[in-house]
Copies of this chain bind each other. A is one copy, B any other.
Amino acid sequence: MAQNQIGREIPQEFVDSFGLFEGQFAKKHEYKRASGMVSSVNPGESKILGSIREAIEKSGLKDGMTISFHHHFREGDKVLNMVMEEIAAMGFKNLTLASSSIANVHDPIIEHIKNGVITNITSSGLRDKVGAAISHGIMENPVVIRSHGGRARAIEKGDIHIDVAFLGAPSADCYGNANGSHGKATCGSLGYARVDAEFADKVVIITDNLVPYPNTPISIPQNHVDYVVVVDSIGDPNGIAKGATRITSNPKELLIAENACKVITASPYYKEGFSFQAGTGGSTLAVARFLADAMRKDNIKAGFAQGGLTGHLCEMLEEGLIEKVIDTQSFDLGAINSIKNNPNHYEMSASFYANPGNKGAAVNQLDVVVLSALEIDTNFNVNVMTGSDGIIRGASGGHSDTAAGAKLSLILTPLIRGRIPTIVDEINTVITPGESIDVVVTEIGIAVNPRRQDLIEAFAKLHVPQFTIEELKEKAYAVVGTPDPIVYGEKVVAVIEYRDGSVIDVVRQIQK
């Protein structure tokens, strides 16, 4: 057992295999980029196969290999279950599932875990049933949780080697040129899938919309594709656009968003050409609305916004409040239509977006990011992974990537949720280290990270109450009392890899 830089206790075996987290920029990455196997295709040879089963056979899949999927279809995804069902039926065992993320719709993998088809998982997140099953110790090997940028880094450095990538594509041609913006089940950006296609040995494109050659725009190019399989349906559009969210009408969330907007506009970064990222979720989504109002009033335009994009930001693009958006994941129909139609809405790969080990990620160019939290501790460390019951139900996503990259990182959170304080002495799981977080914004006021004396000075005249993080915690505890600690077992069910590849935390099994 060893303590890492933020005081988390890490069992020695994970220290040995991942290294201890030593600070957000402690690691400088110097390496030869990983690469996949290539088997050349001559004129006249067809890549189109008759079935998923044939693709699995041709891919050379073997027991013990690593397979990958992307999560651009979110809760509407049919590809992962379709392929896993066939793989299980064919009798494969001991596979590593390296999806970019895992959604509720993927609950059938619980059976594949029980049957020994899947024995290792790496993912950004795990939702309800799968997360609970993992937290209760269903797997022998811990899941490795990686941020979106960390996954790209792991693939590019060779920590994850994908043997076969099964990539759903809303449109593809006979050679595998694929995009997400045209078809029956559009998802917009294919930013996560691009990394898999670039580095996997074998790449299978699965589509329900085969179009004439050449399919453009090209997100995944033919020279990264081995096989194409046409199926009836790759996804349910309603589930795909489930990231769609209305702006909250909850007064507490609106107050948090308003406070956040005041912080942003009072910061030194709010000026012509600034950049920002704001994701989905109650308050974070509402920030964009308040910010748009402020930008109109102040006649300030953003140079770019990025992310995980919602239609709200795309409306700001249309209006001219934002010059360009760069997009690794389109959350809703508004964003999907925008990437299809607006040339200033540009797709980027997950590596381009957030990989801390490449020649420079887009997150490094961010001025402001607006993030949420399940919990935050008095050192500003943030949990977006485990619930107050200690059970895995969240996703690492781009949280630690954007927080590290942006000049101003805001955490928007209510002081308490239900009867649970969100600002606490110790959080269950650290995804993002406190050194990456600059300001915590609640409905009653904000706390600035004491590392940022420059911001404390900049906010001297801000019309938002200011507290220390300890004061915010005390106010939360004063309402709901000191939370009871969760009783964990010894077994580690998930390793939380920091974006640089070191271990920042582990999640232990829940005692029933």
- B361–A214 contact, CB under 8 A? no
Contacts of A176 in B (CB 8 A): 359-360
Supposing A216-B346, A221-B352, A304-B213 touch, asked if A28 and B43 sit within 8 A by C-beta, the answer is: no
Please give me the residue from chain B that is nearest to A177 by CB atom: B352
Please give me the residue from chain B that is nearest to A37 by CB atom: B32
Supposing A30-B38, A32-B35, A40-B28 touch, asked if A359 and B217 sit within 8 A by C-beta, the answer is: no
Q: Chain A: interface secondary structure?
A: loop
Q: How far is the CA of A357 from the CA of B42 in the complex (A)?
A: 9
Supposing A25-B42, A38-B359, A226-B359 touch, asked if A214 and B364 sit within 8 A by C-beta, the answer is: no
- A175–B343 contact, CB under 8 A? no
Q: How far is the CA of A34 from the CA of B32 in the complex (A)?
A: 10
Q: How far is the CB of A189 from chain B (nearest CB, A)?
A: 13
- A30–B36 contact, CB under 8 A? no
Contacts of A221 in B (CB 8 A): 348-349, 352
Q: How far is the CA of A448 from the CA of B225 in the complex (A)?
A: 35
Q: How far is the CB of A32 from chain B (nearest CB, A)?
A: 6
A397 within 8 A of B: no
A105 within 8 A of B: no
Contacts of A225 in B (CB 8 A): 359-360
Supposing A175-B365, A222-B352 touch, asked if A359 and B39 sit within 8 A by C-beta, the answer is: yes
Q: 10 A-B pairs, CB-CB below 8 angstroms?
A: A30-B40, A38-B358, A40-B356, A41-B364, A175-B360, A213-B275, A214-B346, A218-B348, A221-B352, A222-B362
Beyond A30-B40, A213-B303, A216-B344, 5 additional contacts (C-beta under 8 Å) are A30-B39, A40-B360, A222-B361, A223-B352, A223-B361
Q: Residues of A with Cβ closer than 8 Å to B?
A: 25, 28-45, 47, 156, 175-176, 203, 212-214, 216-218, 221-226, 273, 275, 303-304, 323-324, 326, 343-344, 346, 348-349, 351-352, 355-365, 404-405, 407
